[in-house]
């Protein structure tokens, strides 16, 4: 009985231990293998597309034509244009074909050339007089002399016949017969001499005609040299450099002024040998530049040429294209007012007398003195003074009318400017000669900058771009009552040395599946993407092994890669390709999808 009780206790203890072991193992399994949480990812819908490969490069702006202009004759320079001025070309070569409003670049002291022209004119007149005198000899003097010689010869022949008859009758001596024969021979020689003089005079007439032609050619050469004492540009452009100043003696061919064409300009950029074959003359490319206010501007360029020889150092080819240029007036901000704004292209101080004439007279350029209705005045600037820095970009001047009196004749300076001395007639107007500024000549522009209408009388500007805008009628200075003047300084949008951004022509688009670069992974030499497996109840990531085609496509700032499947799982449209989060995924991981906004590949 005691043995049975002992067996019962042993069996109970064994059962209790077994139950304890079983419970511990179940708790351990429950703690080791719980469900993993899904990983957050973003996807893009896979579609077949043909994106355009957008590529950009930078190019340098250079002038299409730039030339050092020189005189064809030697002389002393009397006048030279200022840098940065716009010039109108001289189109015709002959005096009657020349452009009347062409801009002179420089002038020579032409006194010697004018003397040469007058001397050539005198030579032509002398040659004409010599010709006319010889013509009188041919037409009047020599014919009369020939007629007289002929008559004398006829008389001598008659006397010789009579003497011969008398000699046969022994009525006269032999010496008298010889004298008659000698007289007849002499008169015939005199007649022949007169005929020879006539032939010689006719030959001299031809020589005199040739002398007239020679004198006229010398006159034409002298007149041409006189015309060439004024230097013009053969094309429109802007003065970029001055090589001589008034007073300099220049020889034939010495450069005086450098003029560069501003419209059109050329942009040069470098491309590889493969890319250079894409471009042909006449291809159009978008160009982006920045104007004076910092705003990007879109222009269009046409390919002009592609170099046939590569740069030996860089192994690249230079592509040159033409781009139309225009005046950049973005820096001008007109005040919000209906009152017309006057314009001026210069402001000058009053204390330039010592610089011009060596005295303290108050000198101003003649164009700065306006006379309207019998009143003579200048425009004094009130918001800008000599010696005080002006605010950057502030081109608007406040002016007031100040009456003056001209006290001198015109004073030329460096052959280009004309000054006059003035006195201020209103003692109530304060004038500081050392600090006050006055404007130059005032003129008016159309309301719209880009209007094709320009005041031909008062506006010195040229080269304005033309748009289809209708301006208001131009204000007349006689009726203008405003007090604001805009300081004009024409600048071109494209300048030599500027940098431009060119949109290059890509290769032909290829149809296929394109995904962003970050959606493609590579591990152990294998390339794959993760797609969403929608065959199960829960979203999981499934690997699809792919090949990446050579080349890439750039869409904005995103690099796209074209992929093709290399596994049993084919790529198809509508698949969700994981873009964000693919780099920490394993095959079969659960994911939670957040569709990428704008994720179209």
Residue-wise pLDDT for 528-551, tens only, equals 999 988 777 788 888 999 998 866
Question: Global pTM?
Answer: 0.65
Residues 415 and 514 in one domain: no
Residues 440 and 359 in one domain: yes
Q: List the helix and strand counts (H, then E) for the chain.
A: 6, 35
Q: What is the CATH number of the domain that holds 548?
A: 2.40.420.20
Show the domain range for 571.
39-53+509-595
Residue-wise pLDDT for 353-394, tens only, equals 888 888 888 888 888 888 887 888 888 998 888 888 887 777
pLDDT band at 320 (very low <50, low <70, confident <90, very high): very high
Other C-beta atoms lying within 10 Å of the C-beta of residue 90: 20
Residues 425 and 569 in one domain: no
Residues 95 and 118 in one domain: no
Residues 199 and 179 in one domain: yes
Residues 356 and 409 in one domain: yes
Residues 479 and 427 in one domain: yes
Residues 204 and 235 in one domain: no
Q: Is residue 181 included in any domain, yes or no?
A: yes
Q: Is residue 362 included in any domain, yes or no?
A: yes
Q: Is residue 332 included in any domain, yes or no?
A: no
Residues 253 and 374 in one domain: no
Q: Is residue 265 included in any domain, yes or no?
A: no
**Domains identified in the chain, total number:** 4
Residue-wise pLDDT for 34-78, tens only, equals 567 888 888 888 888 877 666 788 999 999 999 999 999 999 999
Q: What is the CATH number of the domain that holds 243?
A: 2.40.50.100
Residue-wise pLDDT for 213-228, tens only, equals 999 999 999 999 998 8
Residues 520 and 426 in one domain: no
Q: Is residue 375 included in any domain, yes or no?
A: yes
User: Token digits for 517?
Assistant: 């670069």
Residues 102 and 159 in one domain: no
HSE of 144, CA atoms in CB hemisphere, 13 A? 5
Q: What is the pLDDT of residue 213?
A: 94
Q: What is the pLDDT of residue 479?
A: 76
Peptide bond into 264 cis (omega under 30): yes
419 and 368 Cβ atoms separated by less than 8 Å: no
Q: Is residue 271 included in any domain, yes or no?
A: no
Q: Among candidates 562, 574, 572, 568, which has minimal Cα distance to 545? A: 568
Chain centroid offset of residue 19 CA: 99
Q: Is residue 551 included in any domain, yes or no?
A: yes
27 and 224 Cβ atoms separated by less than 8 Å: no
Residues 101 and 119 in one domain: no
């Amino acid at each position: 009985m005691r043995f049975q009780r002992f067996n019962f206790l042993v069996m109970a203890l064994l059962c209790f231990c077994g139950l304890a072991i079983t419970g511990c193992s179940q708790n351990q399994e429950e703690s080791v293998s719980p469900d993993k949480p899904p990983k957050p990812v973003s996807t893009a819908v896979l579609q077949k597309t043909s994106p355009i490969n957008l590529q950009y490069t930078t190019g340098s702006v250079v002038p299409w034509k730039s030339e050092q202009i020189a005189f064809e004759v030697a002389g002393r320079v009397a006048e030279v244009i200022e840098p940065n001025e716009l010039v109108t070309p001289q189109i015709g070569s002959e005096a009657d074909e020349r452009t009347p409003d062409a801009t002179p670049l420089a002038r020579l002291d032409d006194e010697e050339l004018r003397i040469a022209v007058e001397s050539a004119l005198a030579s032509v007149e002398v040659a004409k007089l010599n010709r006319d005198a010889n013509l009188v000899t041919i037409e009047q003097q020599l014919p009369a002399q020939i007629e007289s010689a002929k008559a004398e010869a006829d008389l001598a022949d008659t006397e010789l016949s009579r003497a011969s008859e008398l000699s046969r009758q022994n009525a006269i001596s032999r010496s008298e017969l010889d004298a008659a024969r000698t007289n007849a021979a002499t008169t015939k020689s005199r007649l022949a001499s007169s005929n020879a003089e006539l032939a010689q005079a006719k030959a001299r007439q031809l020589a005199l005609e040739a002398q007239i032609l020679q004198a006229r050619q010398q006159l034409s050469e002298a007149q041409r040299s006189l015309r060439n004492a004024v230097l013009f540009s053969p094309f429109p452009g802007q003065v970029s450099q001055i090589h001589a100043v008034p007073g300099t003696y220049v020889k034939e061919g010495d450069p005086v002024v450098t003029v560069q064409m501003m419209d059109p300009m050329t942009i040069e950029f470098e491309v590889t040998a493969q890319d250079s074959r894409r471009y042909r003359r006449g291809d159009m490319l978008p160009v982006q530049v920045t104007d004076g206010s910092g705003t990007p501007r879109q222009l269009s360029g046409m390919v002009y040429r592609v170099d046939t020889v590569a740069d030996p150092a860089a192994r690249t080819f230079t592509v040159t294209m033409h781009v139309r240029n225009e005046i950049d007036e973005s820096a001008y901000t007109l005040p919000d007012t209906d009152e017309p704004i006057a314009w001026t292209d210069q402001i000058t101080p009053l204390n330039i007398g010592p610089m011009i004439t060596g005295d303290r007279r108050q000198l101003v350029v003649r164009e700065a003195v306006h006379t309207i209705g019998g009143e003579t005045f200048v425009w004094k600037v009130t918001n800008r003074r000599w010696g005080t820095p002006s605010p950057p970009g502030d081109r608007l001047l406040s002016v007031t009318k100040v009456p003056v009196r001209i006290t001198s004749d015109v004073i030329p300076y460096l052959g280009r400017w004309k000054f006059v001395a003035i006195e201020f007639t209103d003692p109530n107007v304060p004038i500081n000669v050392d600090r006050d500024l006055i404007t130059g000549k005032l003129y008016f522009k159309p309301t719209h900058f880009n209007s094709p209408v320009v005041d031909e009388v008062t506006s010195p500007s040229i080269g304005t771009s033309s748009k289809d805008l209708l301006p208001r009628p131009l204000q007349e200075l006689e009726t203008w009552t405003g007090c604001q003047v805009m300081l004009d300084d024409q600048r071109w949008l494209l300048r030599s040395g500027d940098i431009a951004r060119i949109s290059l022509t890509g290769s032909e688009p290829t149809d296929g599946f394109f995904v962003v670069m970050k959606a493609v992974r590579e591990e152990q030499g294998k390339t794959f993407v993760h797609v969403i497996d929608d065959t199960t109840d829960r979203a999981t990531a499934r690997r699809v092994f792919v090949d990446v085609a050579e080349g890439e496509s750039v869409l904005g700032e995103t690099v796209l890669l074209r992929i093709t499947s290399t596994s049993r799982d084919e790529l198809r449209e509508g698949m969700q390709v994981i873009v964000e989060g693919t780099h920490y995924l394993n095959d079969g991981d659960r994911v939670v999808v957040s569709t990428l906004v704008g994720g179209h590949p």
